[in-house]
Amino acid sequence: MDFHGPKHRLADVNHIANLPPAAEMYRALCDRDAAYDGVFFAAIRTTGVFCRPTCTARKPREENVEYYPSARDALLAGYRPCMRCRPLEPNGALPVWLRPLLGEIERDPARRWKDADLRAMRLDPGRVRRWFQANHGMTFHAYQRARRLGLALGRIQHGDDLTRTAYDHGFESLSGFRDAFARTFDRPPGKSRAVDRIQVTRLLTPLGPMVAGANDEGVCLLEFADRRMLETQLDRLTKHFGSEAVPGEHEHIAQLDDELRRYFAGELSEFTVRVVYPGTEFQVACWEYLRTIPYGETRSYAEEARAIGNRKAQRAVGRANGDNRLAIVIPCHRVVGNDGQLTGYGGGLWRKRFLLDLEEQNRKG
């Protein structure tokens, strides 16, 4: 029997939210296309639940699906959230079953965890491995090894003894520590005392998880975790700074996390966290111009090109904006086509629209 409840008319919702065509959304739902996460929510008439596009539940018939631009709209239409894909939770949020393990790792990041330790916490090692592979691009054991090596690098840079550092960070032999260190940092530990580190961690936002990186100069990376350019951007940063990227926390990232939370809550319109954005002279000129665009306003590529003194450089401006490594903080989302249409955003046009709508609404009060 069909679910009955107070629903919006689908045509009205699609018109208001400018959702993609229904056929396109149904294809995304069937393909579990992560690119549409945040673009729409699918409500199933026969069950009365609404889901993310990536939900792993059995796919319904096309005529039984309605689409909504937000979880709030689906709730107001009388649907309840799916218990499988949990559409009310921030995309990328830590699952409840994993939180105790992450807490233990942060309490003692130098500890070496084994599968037996996971089982003692009633965790399936395979499930833990799959989550880390999907969310960090590495297995759990690779993640914790990188975490321990990052801490060890910090100790070495402060002049600590290599042998003591190795054993304090869960390595059973100095030779094993040297081999693991050289594989990770491409140099032996004895030659790493002057090497800088870029601490990298994931931050949760209403637009999905983002990857943040910082060194002592400032935040140098803020990118959406699903962006294809992420690995390239991080590689460019490590080469520029002559540093290594390791999992970890940093005071600049902590400040960034707080400012992002206030930005999305409508409480902050200008970021004050220290940032560093190395690039060519032309790139830096483009990025510095972006930082002058007022909150809640937009500029065209032509206006940006004129502002940096090269009217004919619109395409080059677009490429430079696309190379921006500090999404949101350096607001390349505030640049639109010369006709006012949304174009060219590495995080996806739906995110660009979200950011512009957020700023416009908050500016108007």
Domain borders along the chain are: 10-81, 91-194, 195-365
pLDDT at 12: 38
The mean-pLDDT minimum among 105-114, 304-313, 343-352 falls in 105-114
> What 3-state DSSP class applies to 236?
helix
**The pLDDT of residue 77 is above 90:** no
**The pLDDT of residue 75 is above 50:** yes
Kindly indicate the confidence band of residue 4, based on its pLDDT and cuts at 50, 70 and 90.
very low
Looking at the chain, how many residues does it have? 365
> What 3-state DSSP class applies to 90?
coil
C-alpha–C-alpha distance, residues 53 and 44, integer Å: 12
Summarize the chain as % helix, strand, coil (round to 5): 45, 15, 40
pLDDT at 322: 93
Q: Report phi then psi at 80, rounded to 5.
A: -110, 155
> What 3-state DSSP class applies to 247?
strand
Percentage of residues in the chain having pLDDT higher than 90: 36
Mean pLDDT over each residue of the chain, to the nearest integer = 81
Q: Is 286 an active-site residue?
A: no
> Residues 200-219: what's their mean pLDDT?
88
C-alpha–C-alpha distance, residues 36 and 25, integer Å: 8
C-alpha–C-alpha distance, residues 357 and 18, integer Å: 13
**The pLDDT of residue 28 is above 60:** yes
pLDDT at 9: 36
pLDDT tens profile 165-187: 554 555 655 555 556 555 555 55
Percentage of residues in the chain having pLDDT higher than 70: 80
C-alpha–C-alpha distance, residues 213 and 232, integer Å: 14
The mean-pLDDT minimum among 38-47, 153-162, 214-223, 320-329 falls in 153-162
For residue 12, the tally of other CB atoms under 10 A from its CB is 9
Q: How far is CA 284 from CA 43, 236, 291, 328, in A?
A: 45, 15, 11, 16
C-alpha–C-alpha distance, residues 38 and 207, integer Å: 7
Q: 212 near 201, Cβ under 8 Å? A: yes
Sequence-separated (6 or more) residues with CB below 8 Å from residue 35: 28, 226, 348
> Which CATH number does 91-194 carry?
1.10.10.60
pLDDT at 280: 94
One-letter amino acid of 136: H
pLDDT tens profile 7-19: 333 333 333 346 7
For domain 10-81, say whether CATH 3.40.10.10 is its number.
Answer: yes
C-alpha–C-alpha distance, residues 309 and 75, integer Å: 50
Closest to 102 (Cα-Cα) out of 139, 134, 130, 140:
140
Same fold, 10-81 and 91-194: no
Supply the DSSP symbol for 21: P
- Residue with the larger pLDDT of the pair 87 and 45: 45
Ranked by mean pLDDT, the top range of 16-20, 30-34, 146-150, 169-173 is 30-34
Sequence-separated (6 or more) residues with CB below 8 Å from residue 232: none
pLDDT tens profile 44-65: 999 989 999 989 888 899 999 9
pLDDT at 37: 79
Place of tokens 């993310």: 52
- Residue with the larger pLDDT of the pair 348 and 145: 348
**The pLDDT of residue 157 is above 60:** no
**The pLDDT of residue 80 is above 90:** no
Task: Tell me the pTM.
Answer: 0.63
- Residue with the larger pLDDT of the pair 133 and 277: 277
Structure tokens at 237: 């940063």
**The pLDDT of residue 129 is above 80:** yes
C-alpha–C-alpha distance, residues 331 and 338, integer Å: 17
pLDDT tens profile 262-276: 999 999 999 999 999
pLDDT at 119: 93
Q: Which CATH number fits domain 195-365: 1.20.1260.10, 3.40.50.720, 1.10.3370.10, 1.10.10.10?
A: 1.10.10.10
pLDDT at 319: 93
- Residue with the larger pLDDT of the pair 36 and 100: 100
Residue of 55, 82, 220, 332 marked catalytic? 332
For residue 291, the tally of other CB atoms under 10 A from its CB is 15
Helix axes 140-157, 125-136, angle to 10 degrees: 60
